[in-house]
Chain A
Amino acid sequence: MKFALAGNPNSGKTTLFNALTGATAHVGNWPGVTVDKREGSYKKLGEKIDIVDLPGIYSLSPYTPEEIVARNFIVDEKPDCVINIVDATNLERNLYLTTQLLEMDVPVVVALNMMDVVKKSGNEVNATELSKKLGVPVVELSALRNEGIHDVMKKAYEVAKENRKGHSVLETEDFYDLITKVEEKFVELGESSPLFKAIKIVEGDEALCAKYPQLVELIKSDKEKYKDNDFGGDFEGMVADARYRYITANYADTIKKIDKKTESKSDKIDKVMTHRIFAIPLFIVIMFVVFHLVFSEDLFFINGISKGNAGISGETAINVFTGMGYDDIYLEEMTGVITEKYEEDFGDEADDKLNSAISYVANKVNVELQAKGEEIRYDDIDNLALEDMEIEDLQELLVYSGGDVEEVNPVIGIPSPGVFLQSWMGFVTGKLIDLGAMISETWPAWLSGLLCDGLLSGLDAIFSFLPQILLLFLFIAILEDSGYMARVAFIMDRAFRGLGLSGKAFIPLLMGFGCSVPAMMATKTLEEEHERDMTIRLTPFFSCGAKAPIWAMLAVAVAGSFLGDIFVFSIYLLGIVVAIISALLIKAFGKVKEVPPFIMELPAYHAPQFKNLMAHLWEKLKHFVYKASTIITAAIVLIWFLSNFGWAFWQGMVGIEDSILASLGRVLQYIYYPLGFTWGSEGWKYSVATITGLIAKEDVVATMATLGITEKTIALSNAQIYAFASYNLFTLPCFAAIGAAYGDSSKKGFWITLLWWLGCSYVVSLIIFWLGYLFEHVLVVGIIVALLLVATIILLFVYTAKKRKKVLAN
């Protein structure tokens, strides 16, 4: 048996589908999450029942792709029963679809969902009375709380065994004889659901009218009689009006509403969240808080305060949180850096070399002080330790040893939950690498290299960021599930309209923060081809989960790593800004077309469901582990081989500089040379990492680790790091996403999209690097160039707005 779930958008079909089938299909608290039908099975009735989750629809007219999918399924594939999910909190509007489903020759069960919300608000819906009026069973349900689910299935199973003839609520209308006339013809033709089809012909449904022109002709003269009525002979309007009149007149007594004059909780929250002026800044603040909680090493901004930036005494702030003063912490960091440097540079001789360096600097300081006629600073130079020296002398010692004082940047903040989790995970995976090294100590070099430098290092690099990324997705899932993200689409509509996109396009783009592939597929809901192409083009700019390990790694490497959260936040914002500028450019130089209006029902806010959130995270985790065990492992092994063997690989292992990968990487290095991040002897490694990102974006980090670059050993300036990040953000996404883009774009649009991604990544990265370079070296010129850039973008805005006005005026 096959049952179909049909209902309005966001009425809870997918939640019911998941509860029935045990699936973990993506549930979002916004309309339009399900674009295509989805199948699963229910096995608790003794017989296996196939369940089909149809996309949310308001009617059975063939206007939107979702309506077409749902209608074709019910008409052509004839399910044994249609379970019509009705949002009981919005009964009147939801019943509009029900009245159409009743016209089909298919058993129908109405499932009154969200009954828990109805009861909680003190309202009542009389299911028995409603069932009598509709002529089909009505069952109360709360899909979210798993209440009444089995009852719905039992009832559906019962009615599925019966043959049901469609009936209409339009029977009392004066134009019903037209419907009867066409219905008889359909019966003669042996068509299924003749009543439904007859009503559609009378309504002037394009698809059916084209198929049965003789039936259109049959009622043409009868229709003429209505051309002077209030609807000007528009039968679609007349039918819709008749349905609503019937619903209002007949169902009012099945609902008992407590007359509440006060605003609902959602309305109150929306007064702030969707405020004309504050909505977008609020969205930015909320996103910043999320990134701060996930990526900040300085949760309470102690670092900032300690340097006097906030005007509060740094000493006090640090004392409160750490019990130490800033100077003490700096001293500790400085001695650590010096000791580490000597150990790295001199190995066993480190202590001797360090002691002689201490003596040299201490002597020099004493001599200089004596020359000035002051007292000497160090009495017992032979027993002098680093900790006993003054900060300025330690700085001199570091410079004397070939180090850089700028690198001493103690992070003294309390880590955010994300960083805390990451350091623990890093600790665990680090121990696994140590264990691997211990086990493979006596193995041949190639085998221990494959295990430790290849597999373990590569997997460690991505797995150590896993908890942080799961935390990020937990926050995004909370925002989605609570209903806030639907508001974001709504508040973005006005801004998007100026860019040739509607707020509806923002939903696939938001999904892009998870994975570009389903996001691109969700563009099916957009009616205009140019809007679909444009949305697909912009989707990868909304940084997906697979790119998150790259940002997490670079966040640690950004100079002054307490800026990690700001770095990651700025990358996500940069993606949105470049998406907007891309849309502006395409609009400025392409044809301007107006997009259809965006109408969306804002779902009520509700507390995120723990089960939903965990299902979200579980899916992410499964996906991550699955990917790591397949495509990422494969890439790591290949990269390890290519980086440890030369072209004459039969001659055995070679140094990384003479490897196959190095020679290939050096060619690529020159292509990326203007972008800055491939400068220097290690530059080729970054170019190789960028290319392996095409397989899966996590491979960027895994490749770097296999080539010996970790978050602690990245030797790039901030400008280079930004250029590298932006190139990876905007360039071609992974192959799976390119496949999705090919499937859902127009042919011409797809090729333009590929070129756009390649061009955009190169140009944006180029601008960012040189701007950063100027900021680092010639600040004034950097500021002038930045201002010129901003001015160009503003001019672009003005130009496209004028162009749009002209088109609208015409």
Chain B
Amino acid sequence: MKWWEFLLMFVIIIILLIPTIIRFTKNKGSKGSCSCGCEACNKDCPMH
């Protein structure tokens, strides 16, 4: 693998990880669907 292929691979991997990173850093006070992956409502979510 060439160096730029490594770079491209890590960029792709990071892009794929972004939704998960956002999910765990999301504003805790926000409303909407639960973001911890469980089915409890936002307010009760143990991951918040």
Taking CB as reference atom, which chain A residue is nearest B15? Answer: A637
Verify if A622 is at the interface (C-beta below 8 Å from B): yes
- Whether the pair B20, A515 counts as a contact (CB closer than 8 A) is no
Q: Mark A266-293, 1 if CB is under 8 A from B, else 0.
A: 0000000000000000000000000000
**8 Å CB interface, B1-48 against A:** 1, 5-6, 8-9, 12-13, 16-17, 19-20, 23, 33, 36-41, 43-44, 46-47
State in angstroms the CA–CA spacing of A444 and B13 once bound together: 16
Provided the pairs A36-B44, A517-B46 are in contact, do residues A740 and B17 lie with their beta carbons within 8 angstroms? no
State in angstroms the CA–CA spacing of A650 and B40 once bound together: 42
Query: What residues of A have a CB within 8 angstroms of the CB of B1 in the complex?
Result: 444, 446, 652-653
- Whether the pair A634, B20 counts as a contact (CB closer than 8 A) is yes
- Whether the pair A740, B19 counts as a contact (CB closer than 8 A) is no
Provided the pairs A446-B9, A641-B13, A739-B46 are in contact, do residues A521 and B20 lie with their beta carbons within 8 angstroms? no
Determine which of B13, B20, B38 lies in contact with A740 in the assembled complex, contact meaning CB atoms within 8 Å. B38
State in angstroms the CA–CA spacing of A525 and B36 once bound together: 23
- Whether the pair B38, A634 counts as a contact (CB closer than 8 A) is no
Provided the pairs A641-B13, A696-B37 are in contact, do residues A633 and B47 lie with their beta carbons within 8 angstroms? no
Q: Which of A26, A619, A740 has the most CB of B within 10 A?
A: A740
Stretch with Cβ within 8 A of B (4 or more), from A102-110, A565-573, A624-632? A624-632
State in angstroms the CA–CA spacing of A622 and B37 once bound together: 11
Determine which of A455, A517, A629, A631 lies in contact with B39 in the assembled complex, contact meaning CB atoms within 8 Å. A517
CB distance from A25 to the nearest CB of B (A): 7
Q: Mark A15-56, 1 if CB is under 8 A from B, else 0.
A: 000000000011000000000101100000000000000000
State in angstroms the CA–CA spacing of A344 and B9 once bound together: 32
State in angstroms the CA–CA spacing of A521 and B6 once bound together: 45
Taking CB as reference atom, which chain B residue is nearest A514? Answer: B39
Provided the pairs A444-B5, A630-B20, A637-B17 are in contact, do residues A740 and B40 lie with their beta carbons within 8 angstroms? yes
Determine which of A25, A630, A696 lies in contact with B19 in the assembled complex, contact meaning CB atoms within 8 Å. A630
Taking CB as reference atom, which chain A residue is nearest B21? Answer: A634
Verify if A526 is at the interface (C-beta below 8 Å from B): no
- Whether the pair A623, B20 counts as a contact (CB closer than 8 A) is no
Q: Which of A36, A629, A736 has the most CB of B within 10 A?
A: A736
**8 Å CB interface, A246-278 against B:** none
- Whether the pair A736, B19 counts as a contact (CB closer than 8 A) is no
Verify if A742 is at the interface (C-beta below 8 Å from B): yes
Determine which of B19, B37, B40 lies in contact with A518 in the assembled complex, contact meaning CB atoms within 8 Å. B40
Verify if A584 is at the interface (C-beta below 8 Å from B): no
Number of A residues near B (Cβ < 8 Å) is 41
Determine which of B12, B20, B39 lies in contact with A619 in the assembled complex, contact meaning CB atoms within 8 Å. B39
State in angstroms the CA–CA spacing of A630 and B47 once bound together: 15
- Whether the pair B19, A515 counts as a contact (CB closer than 8 A) is no
Verify if A216 is at the interface (C-beta below 8 Å from B): no
Provided the pairs A446-B9, A633-B19, A637-B17 are in contact, do residues A739 and B33 lie with their beta carbons within 8 angstroms? no
- Whether the pair B39, A515 counts as a contact (CB closer than 8 A) is yes
State in angstroms the CA–CA spacing of A734 and B36 once bound together: 11
Determine which of B5, B9, B16, B41 lies in contact with A634 in the assembled complex, contact meaning CB atoms within 8 Å. B16
Taking CB as reference atom, which chain B residue is nearest A623? Answer: B39
Verify if A450 is at the interface (C-beta below 8 Å from B): yes
**8 Å CB interface, A671-719 against B:** 696
Query: What residues of B have a CB within 8 angstroms of the CB of A739 in the complex?
Result: 36, 46-47
- Whether the pair B5, A446 counts as a contact (CB closer than 8 A) is yes
- Whether the pair A633, B39 counts as a contact (CB closer than 8 A) is no
Verify if A743 is at the interface (C-beta below 8 Å from B): yes
Taking CB as reference atom, which chain B residue is nearest A24? Answer: B33
- Whether the pair A734, B37 counts as a contact (CB closer than 8 A) is yes
- Whether the pair B47, A626 counts as a contact (CB closer than 8 A) is no
Query: What residues of A have a CB within 8 angstroms of the CB of B19 in the complex?
Result: 629-630, 633-634
CB distance from B2 to the nearest CB of A (A): 9
- Whether the pair A736, B36 counts as a contact (CB closer than 8 A) is yes
CB distance from B18 to the nearest CB of A (A): 9
Verify if A510 is at the interface (C-beta below 8 Å from B): no
- Whether the pair B13, A736 counts as a contact (CB closer than 8 A) is no
State in angstroms the CA–CA spacing of A26 and B44 once bound together: 14
- Whether the pair A631, B37 counts as a contact (CB closer than 8 A) is yes
- Whether the pair A630, B23 counts as a contact (CB closer than 8 A) is yes
Provided the pairs A518-B38, A653-B1 are in contact, do residues A622 and B33 lie with their beta carbons within 8 angstroms? yes
- Whether the pair A627, B6 counts as a contact (CB closer than 8 A) is no
State in angstroms the CA–CA spacing of A619 and B19 once bound together: 20
Q: Mark A626-664, 1 if CB is under 8 A from B, else 0.
A: 110111011001100100000000101100000000000
State in angstroms the CA–CA spacing of A588 and B48 once bound together: 37
CB distance from A164 to the nearest CB of B (A): 29
Query: What residues of B have a CB within 8 angstroms of the CB of A36 in the complex?
Result: 43-44
Query: What residues of B have a CB within 8 angstroms of the CB of A633 in the complex?
Result: 16, 19-20
CB distance from B23 to the nearest CB of A (A): 5
Query: What residues of B have a CB within 8 angstroms of the CB of A195 in the complex?
Result: none
- Whether the pair A450, B44 counts as a contact (CB closer than 8 A) is no
- Whether the pair A515, B38 counts as a contact (CB closer than 8 A) is yes
- Whether the pair A517, B38 counts as a contact (CB closer than 8 A) is yes
Q: Mark A705-747, 1 if CB is under 8 A from B, else 0.
A: 0000000000000000000000000000011110110110000
- Whether the pair A736, B17 counts as a contact (CB closer than 8 A) is no
State in angstroms the CA–CA spacing of A49 and B39 once bound together: 25
Query: What residues of B have a CB within 8 angstroms of the CB of A26 in the complex?
Result: 39
- Whether the pair B37, A627 counts as a contact (CB closer than 8 A) is yes
- Whether the pair B13, A743 counts as a contact (CB closer than 8 A) is no
Query: What residues of B have a CB within 8 angstroms of the CB of A521 in the complex?
Result: 40, 44, 46
Query: What residues of A have a CB within 8 angstroms of the CB of B40 in the complex?
Result: 515, 517-518, 521, 740
State in angstroms the CA–CA spacing of A216 and B40 once bound together: 42
Query: What residues of B have a CB within 8 angstroms of the CB of A25 in the complex?
Result: 41
CB distance from B25 to the nearest CB of A (A): 12
State in angstroms the CA–CA spacing of A515 and B17 once bound together: 24
Provided the pairs A641-B13, A742-B46 are in contact, do residues A518 and B23 lie with their beta carbons within 8 angstroms? no
- Whether the pair B46, A740 counts as a contact (CB closer than 8 A) is yes
State in angstroms the CA–CA spacing of A737 and B38 once bound together: 8
- Whether the pair B13, A637 counts as a contact (CB closer than 8 A) is yes
CB distance from B31 to the nearest CB of A (A): 9
Query: What residues of A have a CB within 8 angstroms of the CB of B16 in the complex?
Result: 455, 633-634, 637
Query: What residues of B have a CB within 8 angstroms of the CB of A516 in the complex?
Result: 38
- Whether the pair B36, A650 counts as a contact (CB closer than 8 A) is no
Query: What residues of B have a CB within 8 angstroms of the CB of A650 in the complex?
Result: 6
CB distance from B24 to the nearest CB of A (A): 9
State in angstroms the CA–CA spacing of A194 and B1 once bound together: 79
Query: What residues of B have a CB within 8 angstroms of the CB of A447 in the complex?
Result: 8-9
CB distance from B42 to the nearest CB of A (A): 10
- Whether the pair A736, B33 counts as a contact (CB closer than 8 A) is no
State in angstroms the CA–CA spacing of A652 and B3 once bound together: 10
Query: What residues of A have a CB within 8 angstroms of the CB of B13 in the complex?
Result: 637-638, 641
Provided the pairs A517-B38, A517-B40, A631-B37 are in contact, do residues A450 and B9 lie with their beta carbons within 8 angstroms? yes
CB distance from A598 to the nearest CB of B (A): 24
Taking CB as reference atom, which chain A residue is nearest B31? Answer: A39
Name 7 interchain pairs, CB-CB below 8 A, sorted by A: A626-B33, A629-B19, A630-B19, A630-B20, A630-B37, A736-B38, A739-B36
9 cross-chain pairs, A with B, having the tightest CB-CB distances, nearest first: A517-B38, A739-B46, A634-B20, A736-B38, A515-B39, A630-B19, A740-B46, A652-B1, A630-B20
Given A514-B39, A629-B19, A737-B38, 18 more pairs with CB closer than 8 A:
A25-B41, A38-B43, A39-B43, A444-B1, A444-B5, A446-B1, A517-B46, A521-B46, A619-B39, A623-B39, A627-B37, A630-B23, A634-B16, A638-B13, A734-B37, A735-B47, A736-B37, A740-B40
Which residues of A are at the interface with B, using a C-beta cutoff of 8 A?
25-26, 36, 38-39, 444, 446-447, 450, 455, 514-518, 521, 619, 622-623, 626-627, 629-631, 633-634, 637-638, 641, 650, 652-653, 696, 734-737, 739-740, 742-743
